[in-house]
């Protein structure tokens, strides 16, 4: 059982939960960043005497945050990632004392192959200073375990934070391999990742970008402005002409809100239109996204094929008076784009086809954390 | 102690480091929701399964408000308990909520404001809302704008939040709306004219000065008044000073804007995005529910941020079903769009639920039809019953095959027998089991009304209406006794009809100006047209507001005489003791407020006193010097009494001189005023052109002669002006003074 959260950490969690609920924190990266900061605060103040208590505390926070806003999937992803890293650090740190448990985890059997997955990448070198004195459930000094392991845990969380902060750079570092000179790229919406990607490619290549307006939010306008400011030749077209110009387009570049385990994704409304049009013309669809968007879920909203519904005011003005009573407006914010429409995900850790997303998810998160 | 930085917006209010306070008027001070509000306050009525108070708190929390005072009157204990048990009172919510119980004698929002003043709880600019607000507006932005304006102009006391909606929006009250006159550039509210739906308001009177002073004016009749006000600290004290202000809008805003004494400014904030509306009556209850279900209030929607903390799943067609799998929907039932179904509710086979809200733990029998119905928690709707455009209170039981027709309100715990038939707009409530002899906990006034209703029940006649085995009492559609009482226009029966759910009121003759706007596509031309028409009407009325003055006709003559004497004495004292001009002006304003006299009267008193102050001395130069001294010392007082109207000043001067022995001094006095820049050349010309200046309407006599003499003097002066202009543009004004 998780012990009562300390007040300060508790408050930070509640504040973030409130902001998520009220949509004061929006966007997958921002939500992810806020979550890491809160988790760091929680872990640094947490009192625990064995690893299970700590995991319990973090899961508790994760549950609260993801319940507050189930549509920001990155919140849950970050919590899973932190849990994964913490366990890893713990295993490394306690290999000496908990030697009995470790071999069990590394034994392979065909029957449990899918469940266990590949051996985890042990990219973290054991941090020697912690290994010596770790002892769980010390009755004389219940805090000694926490004291011993906290420095490594903080480093593990810092790794997650660093990954988030460098995500744009890492996604776009291979941009010039994907975009070739004189290509025509179509994009939609204003994804920061896509923007960084295109700007990085513009250092080496000379190409043209067509930006769809992306109604009703018209975030495409901002994108076009940002790109042309960077000296990229940019066209802004209405959404309705996406299909018509698709035959001239060499590549469709999309951002993602969340990447699902089946290789599909949620992306800004209009992406489905672009992806379907691209499929018809056999134009490759390339998605740029950080790995923190990998979500161990399937499409949750079969009913709509969309995730979130915003208010109708951007479609039908409130001042329309009489009409408001007679018209039902559906204003979806995200589209679900199925795996068959996506050719490749360019992430901060390599390029992957939709079919191997499940693999990445298995490597990034622990199975027991899929539900908090 | 303010809670730790929590609501996030504190940073933005930043440098001032002030806690943003809000005051919620939890009591509605009217009875539009009866009989639903017989046993509980309006702010605890649920809308979309969360109480109105919760919606209000959420709206304020969204805006980063940190300290909330809830002013409650009736059922204060229930309100307090609700606040105590809610999630808002937990420390993690970041809100500090203080319930304040006002006296039973508080009958209006004005009284409540006076109570706030006496409590002395307000320390800075605050947000004033009613306890029935649903909003996702970023109020903090309005507050910031208000503060910026206030830094520029100390007399800015209030910013009202209004939402553009079109004249015939479902959320816009037809019974209780208003015409706003705004300055297009600054969005200052120049005038506020309340509008009632019935009797239809056809004229809006707009004081002439507004059109004279502001080059560009907007007349808006398409605004929803969100009743979110950002008020300065002075507002409660203004209520304290003006003890007859009752309503926030019809009395306070109207009063402040029409008063030429207060010199305070009120601004409007026209919302471009965001949603805000109040649930003021059953009709707006219906409209706001629909707005919530069709997600106008996003992100404050049932599946995202439900204020009551419930979790709903959003399905195709804006259907919201409680998420915990506790809802039992029969295989053959039909759930239409825009419907919300609470947890543990079960819906029987073949039942049809359209555009309705069902509370928690409700049961809907087989084949029942709910259309546009709002059903609170724990209600049972019998098999085959039909409920249309009605509100059904908590724990009610509607018998099998009963019909509840549109506009009906069914109180909490009412049992309607099988095949009961509530006709349109029937209101029923539960008969009390035993009368409480002392009535200690219940409101006396309400008790007597309930008694009256109960006494009037004729069991036999009512049997087909409420069915067998019912515990209901039927409320009369209108209260005959009310017609004797002095009743507010807004609360009149026919106007109330516009606030009922499901009432199209098509039989009432409504000349809603909104219908005019509809036919005219261009809103600019509309406002131009109406401003012309309106200015013509206002020119027929005298400048001070007729309605305010007419209230006191009886006292008028007595107080006029008293005022004259007092004003003369006050000025005498000021002259004798050498007060500062400002002090004298304040004294006159106070006198004027006490006697409630028109501004002209004050001007007459001041001008008269000045003229009498001048001693007649020998020698033109000495005389001129004396006049110049007096005008230089006291002349500015004429413009400090609460309004500047130099033409009137000249006219008053003329008439006073004509009456008194100082007739020969008129020319010199006028010249002195001119030189002191109190009157301009144009003003003298304007005065000269007026028929009153010639004294044409006067009977022949000494007065007329005097007036005409003055007029002649004026003509000479104007002739001089003309001459001067033709002579040279360069010549200084002193020159004309010397020739005089």
Asked if the Cβ–Cβ distance from A312 to B295 is below 8 Å, we say yes
What's the CATH number where B684 sits? 1.25.40.180
Asked if the Cβ–Cβ distance from B92 to A303 is below 8 Å, we say no
Asked if the Cβ–Cβ distance from B304 to A21 is below 8 Å, we say yes
Residues B259 and B339 in one domain: no
Residues of B in contact with A330 (CB under 8 A): 318
Q: Which chain A residue's Cα is nearest to B270?
A: A319
Q: Is A359 left (phi over 0), alpha (psi -120 to 50) or beta?
A: alpha
More confident residue, B263 or B540: B263
| The pLDDT of residue B334 is above 50 | yes
The whole-number pLDDT of residue B653 equals 81
Asked if the Cβ–Cβ distance from B296 to A311 is below 8 Å, we say yes
Q: Which chain A residue's Cα is nearest to B92?
A: A11
Q: What is the ipTM of this complex?
A: 0.82
The upper half-sphere exposure of residue B296, i.e. CA atoms within 13 Å in the direction of its Cβ, equals 27
Identify the CA nearest to B623 among candidates B576, B659, B672, B578. B672
The whole-number pLDDT of residue B539 equals 35
Q: In what order do the strands lie in the sheet with B319-322?
A: B312-315, B319-322, B339-341, B357-358, B374-375, B391-392, B409-410, B427-430, B472-475
More confident residue, B175 or A47: A47
Average pLDDT over all residues of chain A = 83
Q: How far is Cα B576 from Cα A311, in angstroms, rounded to an integer?
A: 69
Asked if the Cβ–Cβ distance from B92 to A11 is below 8 Å, we say yes
Classify burial at B306, counting beta carbons within 10 Å of its beta carbon; exposed 0-12, middle 13-18, buried 19 or more: buried
Identify the CA nearest to A292 among candidates A256, A267, A338, A343. A256
Q: What is the pLDDT of residues B675-705, one digit of tens each?
A: 877 788 888 888 888 777 777 777 777 777 7
The whole-number pLDDT of residue B703 equals 77
Asked if the Cβ–Cβ distance from A312 to B62 is below 8 Å, we say no
Q: In what order do the strands lie in the sheet with B188-196?
A: B96-101, B67-72, B21-25, B126-130, B223-231, B156-164, B265-271, B188-196, B176-183, B217-220
Q: Which of A35-44, A308-317, B525-534 is most confident?
A: A35-44
Asked if the Cβ–Cβ distance from B305 to A22 is below 8 Å, we say yes
Query: How far is C-alpha B420 from the geometric centre of its chain's CA atoms?
Result: 41
Q: What is the pLDDT of residues B597-616, one digit of tens each?
A: 777 888 888 888 888 777 77
Q: Is B527 part of a structural domain of the chain?
A: no
Asked if the Cβ–Cβ distance from B172 to A321 is below 8 Å, we say yes
Residues of A in contact with B167 (CB under 8 A): 321
Identify the CA nearest to B369 among candidates B400, B342, B395. B400
- Read off the pLDDT band of B550 (50, 70, 90): very low
A/B interface, count of CB pairs below 8 Å = 88
Residues of B in contact with A12 (CB under 8 A): none
Query: For residue B117, what is the enclosing H or E element?
Result: helix B109-119
Q: Where are the extended beta strands (E) located within B120-249?
A: 126-130, 133-135, 156-164, 176-183, 188-196, 217-220, 223-231
Residues B727 and B580 in one domain: yes
Mean pLDDT of B567-576: 81
Q: Is B699 part of a structural domain of the chain?
A: yes
Residues B326 and B249 in one domain: no
Domain boundary pick from B448, B475, B502: B475
Which residue is associated with the tokens 């899973």?
Answer: A80
Residues B222 and B116 in one domain: yes
- Find the helix packing angle between B553-577 and B599-613, rounded to 10°: 30
Nearest to A321 among B165, B296, B337 (CB): B165
Q: Where are the extended beta strands (E) located within B583-713?
A: none
| The pLDDT of residue B369 is above 90 | yes
The whole-number pLDDT of residue B673 equals 81
Residues B271 and B327 in one domain: no
Q: Enter the tokens of residue B711.
A: 């007029």
Identify the CA nearest to B242 among candidates B542, B594, B525. B594
Residues B258 and B346 in one domain: no
| The pLDDT of residue B436 is above 60 | no
- Read off the pLDDT band of B526 (50, 70, 90): very low
Asked if the Cβ–Cβ distance from B168 to A22 is below 8 Å, we say no
| The pLDDT of residue B171 is above 90 | no
Q: Is B482 part of a structural domain of the chain?
A: no
Q: How far is Cα A145 from Cα B63, in angstroms, rounded to an integer?
A: 43
Asked if the Cβ–Cβ distance from A322 to B273 is below 8 Å, we say no
Residues of A in contact with B518 (CB under 8 A): 322
Chain B contacts to A (CB-CB under 8 A): 4, 6-8, 61-62, 91-94, 163-170, 172, 222, 273, 275, 290, 294-299, 304-305, 311, 314-318, 337-338, 518
Residues of A in contact with B170 (CB under 8 A): 324-325
| The pLDDT of residue A303 is above 60 | no
Q: Which chain A residue's Cα is nearest to B309?
A: A68
Mean pLDDT of B382-400: 91
The whole-number pLDDT of residue B376 equals 93
Domain that holds residue B714: 551-739
Nearest Cα of chain B lies from the Cα of A272 at a distance, in angstroms, of: 18
More confident residue, B730 or B279: B279
Asked if the Cβ–Cβ distance from A309 to B164 is below 8 Å, we say no
Bridge partners (DSSP) listed for residue B222: none
Q: Is B147 part of a structural domain of the chain?
A: yes
Nearest Cα of chain A lies from the Cα of B7 at a distance, in angstroms, of: 7
Q: Which chain A residue's Cα is nearest to B58?
A: A22
Residues of B in contact with A15 (CB under 8 A): 6, 8, 92, 94
What's the CATH number where B241 sits? 3.90.550.10
- At B178, is the secondary structure helix, strand, or coil? strand
Residues B423 and B570 in one domain: no
Peptide bond into B2 cis (omega under 30): no
Nearest Cα of chain A lies from the Cα of B167 at a distance, in angstroms, of: 7
Paired sense of beta strands B346-347 and B312-315, if any? unpaired
Q: How many domains does chain B have?
A: 3
Residues B671 and B561 in one domain: yes
Which residue is associated with the tokens 């849950």?
Answer: A76
A168-369, what's its fold? Rossmann fold (3.40.50)
Asked if the Cβ–Cβ distance from B305 to A10 is below 8 Å, we say no
Q: Which of A321, A325, A328 to mutate to test the interface with B (most CBs of B within 10 A)?
A: A321
Residues B333 and B466 in one domain: yes
Q: Enter the tokens of residue B226.
A: 């969100």
| The pLDDT of residue B506 is above 70 | no
Domain boundary pick from B258, B282, B306: B282
The whole-number pLDDT of residue A128 equals 45
Chain A contacts to B (CB-CB under 8 A): 10-11, 14-15, 18-19, 21-24, 67, 69, 71, 303-304, 309-313, 318-322, 324-325, 328-331
- Written in H, E and C, the secondary structure of B274-285 is CCEEECCCHHHH
Residues B254 and B146 in one domain: yes
Q: Is B594 part of a structural domain of the chain?
A: yes
Classify burial at A243, counting beta carbons within 10 Å of its beta carbon; exposed 0-12, middle 13-18, buried 19 or more: middle
Asked if the Cβ–Cβ distance from B297 to A321 is below 8 Å, we say no
Identify the CA nearest to B161 among candidates B61, B271, B250, B249. B271
Residues of B in contact with A14 (CB under 8 A): 92-94
For A10-24, B84-98, B366-380, B527-541, which range has the lowest pLDDT when averaged over its residues?
Answer: B527-541
Q: Enter the tokens of residue B122.
A: 């307000």
Residues of A in contact with B62 (CB under 8 A): 22
Q: What is the pLDDT of residues B252-283, one digit of tens each?
A: 888 888 877 778 889 999 888 888 888 888 88
Spatial contact of B112 and B128, defined as CB atoms under 8 Å apart: no
Q: Which of B5, B136, B169 to mutate to test the interface with A (most CBs of A within 10 A)?
A: B169
Asked if the Cβ–Cβ distance from B298 to A19 is below 8 Å, we say no
Q: How far is Cα B574 from Cα B636, in angstroms, rounded to an integer?
A: 14
Q: Where are the domains of chain A?
A: 7-161, 168-369
Nearest to B166 among A21, A311, A322 (CB): A322
Paired sense of beta strands B386-388 and B369-371, if any? parallel
Q: Which of A31, A318, A330 to mutate to test the interface with B (most CBs of B within 10 A)?
A: A318
Spatial contact of B111 and B105, defined as CB atoms under 8 Å apart: yes
Residues B466 and B341 in one domain: yes
Spatial contact of B71 and B40, defined as CB atoms under 8 Å apart: no
Asked if the Cβ–Cβ distance from A309 to B298 is below 8 Å, we say yes
Q: Is B8 part of a structural domain of the chain?
A: no
More confident residue, B14 or B727: B727
Q: What is the pLDDT of residues A283-292, one digit of tens each?
A: 999 999 999 9
| The pLDDT of residue A77 is above 80 | yes
Residues B324 and B186 in one domain: no
Residues of B in contact with A304 (CB under 8 A): 316
Nearest to A321 among B93, B166, B337 (CB): B166
């Amino acid at each position: 059982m998780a012990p009562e959260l300390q007040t300060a950490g508790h408050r930070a969690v509640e504040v973030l939960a409130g902001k998520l609920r009220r949509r004061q924190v929006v966007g997958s990266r921002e939500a992810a960043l806020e979550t890491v900061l809160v988790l760091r605060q929680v872990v640094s103040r947490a009192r625990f005497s064995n690893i299970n208590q700590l995991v319990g505390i973090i899961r508790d926070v994760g549950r609260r945050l993801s319940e507050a806003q189930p549509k920001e999937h990155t919140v849950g992803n970050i919590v899973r990632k932190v849990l994964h890293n913490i366990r890893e650090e713990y295993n490394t740190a306690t290999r000496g004392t908990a030697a009995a448990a470790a071999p069990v985890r590394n034994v392979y059997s065909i029957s449990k192959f899918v469940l266990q997955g590949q051996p985890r990448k042990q990219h973290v070198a054991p941090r020697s200073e912690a290994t010596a004195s770790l002892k769980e459930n010390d009755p004389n000094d219940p805090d000694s375990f926490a004291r011993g392991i906290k420095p490594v845990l903080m480093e593990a969380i810092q790794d997650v934070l660093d990954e988030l902060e460098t995500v744009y750079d890492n996604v776009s570092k291979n941009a010039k391999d994907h975009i070739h000179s004189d290509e025509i790229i179509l994009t939609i919406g204003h994804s920061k990742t896509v923007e960084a990607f295109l700007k990085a490619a513009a250092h080496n290549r000379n190409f043209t970008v067509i930006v769809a307006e992306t109604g009703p939010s018209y975030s495409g306008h901002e994108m076009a402005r940002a790109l042309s400011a960077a000296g990229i030749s940019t066209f802004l077209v209405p959404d309705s002409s996406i299909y018509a110009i698709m035959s001239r387009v060499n590549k469709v570049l999309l951002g993602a809100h969340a990447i699902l385990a089946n290789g599909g994704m949620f992306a800004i409304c209009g992406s489905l239109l672009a992806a379907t049009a691209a499929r018809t013309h056999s134009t490759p669809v390339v998605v740029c996204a950080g790995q923190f968007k990998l979500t161990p879920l399937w499409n949750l909203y079969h009913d709509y094929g969309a995730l979130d519904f915003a208010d109708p005011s951007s479609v039908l003005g409130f001042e329309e008076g009489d009409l408001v009573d007679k018209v039902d407006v559906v204003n979806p914010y995200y589209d679900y784009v199925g795996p068959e429409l996506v050719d490749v995900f360019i992430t901060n850790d390599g390029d992957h086809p939709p079919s191997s997303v499940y693999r990445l998810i298995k490597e990034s998160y622990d199975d027991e954390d899929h539900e908090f | 102690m303010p809670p730790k930085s929590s609501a996030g917006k504190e940073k933005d209010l930043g440098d001032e480091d002030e806690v943003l306070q809000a005051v919620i008027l939890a009591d509605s001070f009217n009875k539009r929701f009866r009989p639903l509000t017989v046993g509980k306050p309006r702010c605890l009525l649920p809308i979309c399964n969360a109480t109105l108070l919760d919606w209000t708190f959420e709206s304020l929390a969204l805006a980063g408000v940190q300290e909330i005072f809830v002013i409650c009157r009736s059922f204060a204990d229930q309100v307090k308990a609700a606040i105590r048990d809610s999630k808002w009172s937990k420390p993690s919510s970041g809100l500090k909520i203080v319930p304040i119980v006002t006296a039973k004698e508080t009958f209006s929002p004005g009284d409540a404001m006076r109570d706030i003043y006496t409590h002395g709880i307000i320390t800075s600019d605050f947000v004033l809302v009613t306890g029935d607000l649903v909003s996702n507006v970023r109020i903090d932005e309005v507050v910031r704008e208000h503060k910026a304006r206030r830094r520029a102009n100390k007399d800015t006391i209030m910013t009202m939040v209004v939402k553009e909606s079109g004249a015939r929006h479902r959320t816009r009250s037809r019974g209780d709306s208003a015409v706003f006159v705004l300055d297009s550039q600054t969005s200052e509210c120049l005038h506020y004219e309340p509008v009632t739906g019935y009797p239809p308001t056809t004229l809006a009177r707009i004081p002439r000065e507004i059109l004279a002073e502001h080059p560009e004016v907007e007349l808006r009749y398409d605004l929803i008044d969100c009743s979110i006000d950002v008020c300065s600290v002075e507002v409660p004290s203004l209520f304290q000073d003006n003890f007859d202000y009752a309503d926030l809008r019809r009395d306070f805003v109207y009063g402040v804007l029409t008063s030429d004494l207060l010199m305070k400014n009120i601004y409007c904030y026209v919302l471009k995005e965001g949603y805000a509306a109040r649930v003021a009556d059953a009709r707006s209850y219906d409209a706001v529910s629909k707005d919530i279900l069709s997600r106008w209030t996003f992100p404050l929607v049932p599946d995202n941020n439900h204020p009551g903390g419930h979790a709903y799943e959003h399905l195709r067609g804006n259907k919201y079903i409680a998420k915990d799998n506790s809802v039992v929907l029969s295989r053959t039932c039909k759930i239409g769009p825009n419907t919300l179904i609470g947890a543990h509710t079960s819906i029987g086979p073949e039942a049809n639920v359209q555009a309705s809200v069902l509370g928690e733990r409700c049961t809907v029998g087989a084949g029942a039809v709910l259309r546009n119905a709002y059903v609170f928690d724990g209600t049972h709707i019998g098999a085959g019953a039909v409920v249309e455009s009605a509100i059904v209170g908590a724990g009610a039981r509607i018998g099998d095959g009963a019909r509840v027709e549109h506009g009906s309100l069914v109180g909490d715990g009412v049992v309607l027998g099988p095949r009961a038939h509530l006709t349109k707009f029937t209101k029923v409530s539960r008969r009390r089991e035993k009368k409480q002899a002392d009535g200690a906990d219940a409101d006396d006034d309400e008790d007597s009304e309930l008694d009256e209703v109960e006494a009037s029940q004729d069991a036999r006649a009512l049997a087909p209406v409420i069915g067998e085995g019912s515990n209901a009492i039927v409320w009369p559609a209108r209260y005959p006794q009310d017609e004797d009482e002095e009743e507010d226009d807004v609360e009149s029966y026919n106007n109330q009809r516009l606030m009922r759910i499901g009432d199209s009121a098509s039989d009432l003759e409504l000349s809603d100006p909104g219908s005019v706007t509809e036919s005219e596509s261009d809103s600019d031309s509309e406002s131009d047209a109406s401003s012309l028409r309106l200015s013509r009407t206002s020119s027929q009325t005298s400048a001070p507001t007729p309605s305010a003055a007419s209230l006191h006709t009886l006292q008028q003559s007595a107080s006029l005489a008293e005022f004259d004497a007092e004003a003369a004495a006050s000025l005498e004292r000021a002259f004798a003791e050498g007060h500062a001009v400002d002090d004298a002006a304040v004294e006159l304003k106070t006198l004027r407020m006490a006697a409630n006299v028109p501004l002209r009267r004050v001007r007459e008193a001041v001008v008269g006193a000045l003229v009498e102050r001048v001693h007649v001395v020998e020698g033109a130069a000495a005389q001129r010097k004396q006049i110049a001294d007096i005008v230089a010392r006291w002349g500015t007082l004429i413009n400090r009494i609460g309004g500047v109207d130099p033409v009137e000043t000249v006219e008053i001067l003329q008439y006073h001189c004509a009456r008194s022995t100082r007739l020969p001094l008129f020319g010199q006095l006028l010249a002195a005023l001119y030189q002191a820049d109190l009157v301009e050349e144009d003003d003298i010309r304007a005065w000269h052109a007026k028929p009153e200046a010639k004294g044409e309407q006067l009977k022949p006599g000494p007065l007329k002669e005097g007036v005409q003499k003055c007029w002649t003097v004026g003509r000479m002066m104007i002739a001089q002006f003309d001459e001067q202009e033709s002579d040279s543009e360069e010549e200084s004004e002193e020159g004309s003074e010397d020739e005089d």
